[in-house]
Amino acid sequence: MFEPVIAPSGTLLGLLQRGRGDGTLHALAAPRAEALQALNQCVLRDPRQDWQVENRSLYYARLYLDLDGPLGEIESHLFSVDDLLDDSDHRTGLALSVLGHLASYGRDDALILLRRYAASGANWAWALDELALRDDDEGLLSLAEPVLARFPATAEGEARLAAAVRDAYEPRPWCLWEETARYGARLGAARRQGSFDRWQRQLTPNGPRPGWGVQAVFDWAAEGLRRGTPLHVPAARCLAAVASPEDRGTILAAAAGAVGDAARATALHHLVLAEPENPVVLDLIEAAADEPAVAAYERMTGPTALDRARSWVQRPDALGEAAAALLAAHGEAEDAHLVLGALRSTVRGSGPDSARLYALVDGAGRLAIGCAAPVLRHVYRETASSHLRGRAARALAGTDPTFASGFAVECLWDCEETTREVAARHAETADVRVAPRLRRLASDPAEEEDVQSAVRSRITPESAV
């Protein structure tokens, strides 16, 4: 997987890569060829920082519809020689999702491309999931032969088929094929084998056992760390179940590092929940100040932890960052200046894409820090993360008096449904673009229910028709 190269936020490409509402508005005003070139670049080179939490597919599909965009570039991308060399979801997932939305809107060319790719493409499972939601029974039945031909009638092939049936995100095609005389017996056996494999894994756990004590839990955590799989969080839950008052000294010693790193992390995670108001626990966290200690501190929300956060927030390390996040999430009005200072310093030092900004942006909105609006506007404009931009929009709705007539209007075209929902509740209808956009969102079957509920709170049923 490659890191996306994001164009400046003032360019058409940069706006579309970020999924901003202004991207759509600028694309519709730009020469069609220029807009389509930028749109195709976004779809073929996924610009998202994290495709698991950021949405783009519906946003790009709607723009293809508005531009009456051809799908030749997507077709060339899907069926290029690279598909034989790179079967990762990241290369083709966004394009397939866009085709799925276009098929929902009635674009038959998108449906045909999905069928072709499901029959012969490397990322066929994704295409099949898209079709499972949108294709008819006849179209899905036509794919049974090419899809099942991928699994030879060998022991290895049948095992792979059982795994594919078991792990299918959308089971409809497999169930449909199982009902046919030609494939029913084979797919029925694959389904039963997948269920047996799942049942067998449940019968052979390799975790904690009844009768374990504190030392056994520490040993289990240490074994996980040696394998490269940190287990201190689940181990801390086990510790809460097995520890007795007589074990408190052992646990405190482990939290101080007497037994090893895995035991120390386990003991700290246990203590922050078992003794959240004990200043000794915070002293141990401050002494360690490493990743497990900071992670343990992040689970604390009580008054003692907040008091300590006020003195730690100036620290230039991860513990200081955690303290700022704690104040942002649970602090009081008197902590507003500390949260604002952390927000400003984070933007200055780490830029508008820092993961630390999520909590601080939320905190600025929660505490209604009006003077944070300029920083929030900067984050909104510049961040490449549509997820962070949505948080900035929610914070601006509570801190910036110009939001309703400014960014809220643009947000009606945003790629994130949560951001469109905020916009639907706040956008000033005096702007001539707002009412038509609200009506379109209300009538779009692909729009999320939460967005449409927000729209219905702003317009009458008659105007939504």
Confidence grade of residue 369 (pLDDT, cut at 50, 70, 90): very high
Residue 4 has pLDDT above 80, yes or no: no
Tokens in use for 195? Answer: 């269920």
The whole-angstrom separation of Cα 148 and Cα 177 is 10
Strongest mean pLDDT among 76-90, 121-135, 241-255:
121-135
The Cα angle at residue 109 between residues 106 and 114, in degrees rounded to 5: 95
Q: Say if residue 359's pLDDT is above 50.
A: yes
Torsion of CA 205, 210, 216, 220, to 10 degrees: 20
Mean local confidence (pLDDT), 32-36: 97
Amino acid at 278: N
Tokens 């992040």 locate to 298
DSSP-derived secondary structure letter, 185 = H
Over residues 219-246, the mean pLDDT reads: 89
What confidence score (pLDDT) does residue 460 get? 62
pLDDT band at 406 (very low <50, low <70, confident <90, very high): very high
Contact between residue 386 and residue 42 where contact means Cβ atoms under 8 Å apart: no
What is the structure's pLDDT at 346? 96
pTM: 0.90
- The contacts of residue 110 (CB under 8 Å, 6+ apart) are 71, 98, 99, 100, 102, 103
pLDDT confidence tier of residue 463, bands split at 50, 70 and 90? very low
Spell out the alpha helix ranges (H) of 9-123. Answer: 12-18, 21-29, 32-44, 57-67, 72-78, 82-85, 89-104, 108-120
What's the confidence (pLDDT) of residue 403? 96
Question: Can you give the three-state secondary structure of 239-302, one letter per residue?
Answer: HHHHCCHHHHHHHHHHHCCCCCHHHHHHHHHHHHHHCCCCHHHHHHHHHHCCHHHHHHHCCCCC
Can you give the pLDDT at residue 192? Answer: 85
Residue 50 has a pLDDT of 87
Q: How confident is the model at residue 1 (pLDDT cuts 50, 70, 90)?
A: very low
**End-to-end CA gap in the chain:** 44
297 has a pLDDT exceeding 60: yes
In this prediction, residue 464 has a pLDDT band, given cuts at 50, 70 and 90, of very low
**CB of 297 within 8 A of CB of 288?**
no
d(C-alpha 194, C-alpha 167), whole Å: 9
Q: What is the pLDDT of residue 19?
A: 97
Q: What is the CA radius of gyration of the chain?
A: 27
Q: DSSP code of 401?
A: T
